[in-house]
Amino acid sequence: MTKKANSSYSNAGVDIDLAQKLLKNVKSRIAESKRSEVLAPIGGFGGLFQIDLSKYRNPVMVSSIDGVGTKIMVAIMMEKFDTIGYDIVHHCINDIAVQGAEPVYFMDYFGTGKLKSPQYEEVLSGIADACRNNNCAVLGGETAEMPGMYGEDFDLVGCITGIAEKDRLITGQNIKNGHYAIGLASNGLHTNGYSLARNILFNKAGYKPDTYLDELEETVGEALLHPHICYWNAVRELLKADVSLDGLAHITGGGLYDNVPRILPENVCVEFDKNSLPVPPIFKLIKNKGSVSDRELYRVFNMGIGMVLFVPAEDKERTVKIAEENGYSAAICGKVKPGKQNVEIV
């Protein structure tokens, strides 16, 4: 591209040189997530990943795609971007972990009206670090600078691929009357319900992101930016221990009411105990300031339970123990009963 053409594109709002410069700043960080199966460096037209067939008997590829949503707007208000990358990676890993899949590679889409530093590097560095921590390679991604599309905001989407043994896929079809639900604690909203939370806390209650509240023991913005917890380590260790993980649900948008029925057989329901795990104080604040009903809270938010694992009665104590040994707060939070593929919260 000629200097004149490049100047014209820059005048239109797209700075190709800046995009290349900022990406170069984080390439070394991204390279640290590389697995031996990755065949090409970052920057090619397509990422190459060779499955090591000696590790699997009958491998199944498991993929998922998701975004961070309007949590990004809180990050922009706080001018804090180092955790957003963790959010998208952890959310995506959890979505395939519920089927028993090991995360192997991740790809991202970063779309913005105008590239900014250090915002861009902080987001991508978070992605790289979260992937490295979970032995998941960053295989590639897309950075799109589109003036007039996003304004001063940006959007972040992630796509993940994992591998599971076909005979060890977790589907939920073996959940039956008498199974127990084990809850793994969340640390806040994770990546769902931010449109409601922002409306209540910032518009109705009039809080600012830097408003410190004693009941939170931190600012409102800090409470809203707690990074999404990754539960893969617990799932992996439970699989290694041959615990009968008959169903897992990642509690995202839709809460317990909508996510758990996705894996239930038609002839059962689950009765959850809302007092089984502590409810983070940010949820209590949203309830009080917004006069939100309990049913809506448990349908919009995770309300302190980030993942639910279904196991037979003989495995319930061992499941809690192994999860806690791996750094998670866990508790028996419900029981499976005869029903119609629904959820009750008492």
Report the distance separating Cα 42 and Cα 47, nearest Å.
7
Each residue's pLDDT tens digit, 225-244: 999 999 999 999 999 999 99
* Residue stretches of the chain with pLDDT short of 70: 1-6
Report the distance separating Cα 252 and Cα 306, nearest Å.
7
Give one word for 245, left, alpha or beta, with left for phi > 0 and alpha for psi -120 to 50: beta
User: Which pLDDT score, from 0 to 100, does residue 11 have?
Assistant: 82
Report the distance separating Cα 256 and Cα 266, nearest Å.
17
For 58, 85, 130, 189, 208, the CA distances from 164, given in Å and listed in that order, are 8, 25, 21, 28, 44
Each residue's pLDDT tens digit, 19-76: 788 888 888 899 899 999 999 877 778 999 999 999 999 999 999 999 999 999 999 9
- What CATH fold (topology level) applies to the domain 180-345? Phosphoribosyl-aminoimidazole Synthetase; Chain A, domain 2 (3.90.650)
Domain-by-domain residue ranges, the chain?
3-168, 180-345
Q: What is the CATH number of domain 3-168?
A: 3.30.1330.10
Specify the pTM. Answer: 0.95
